[in-house]
Structure 1
């Protein structure tokens, strides 16, 4: 029996690893995101998320599942990015 909740093709057995658990990717993106400002930050974020979407969809993951994972990833990056802010007293990653 195929898990069709994670993909669009019933013959495709691809399961998407939860993006919110990709700790290395989250830290990497958060560090770069925290350094950028304005349009550069917006463009970096759009490229990052679009690339993740394209990879997941090309693997056969249903768009609604991809959006859920991207949303969870976004929240994780936002939380991680706060630790890179130079004005935080408890920041250890600058």
Structure 2
């Protein structure tokens, strides 16, 4: 009975079984794969990622399709409205 009870896991635990490539018969083959160096990809900028994924360059001039758009002036953000959920209350002491 004790040996059978050892195979019963506590509630919330999941038994992990090793089949296939995780089995012991593949140990030597898997060891060779673990020793290979990882492939290091070059870091790409946000703009390069957008071009790669969508095929559209948002910085390219829409009129001539040759030059790049350069920012001339950055407008400040409009001030957001006051906090609607927690308005500031002022107390007057007379």
**Normalised TM-score (structure 2):** 0.20
Higher relative contact order structure (alpha carbons within 8 Å, sequence separation ≥ 6): 1
Compare CA radii of gyration and give the structure with the larger one. 2
**Normalised TM-score (structure 1):** 0.20
| Larger helix share, 1 or 2 | 1
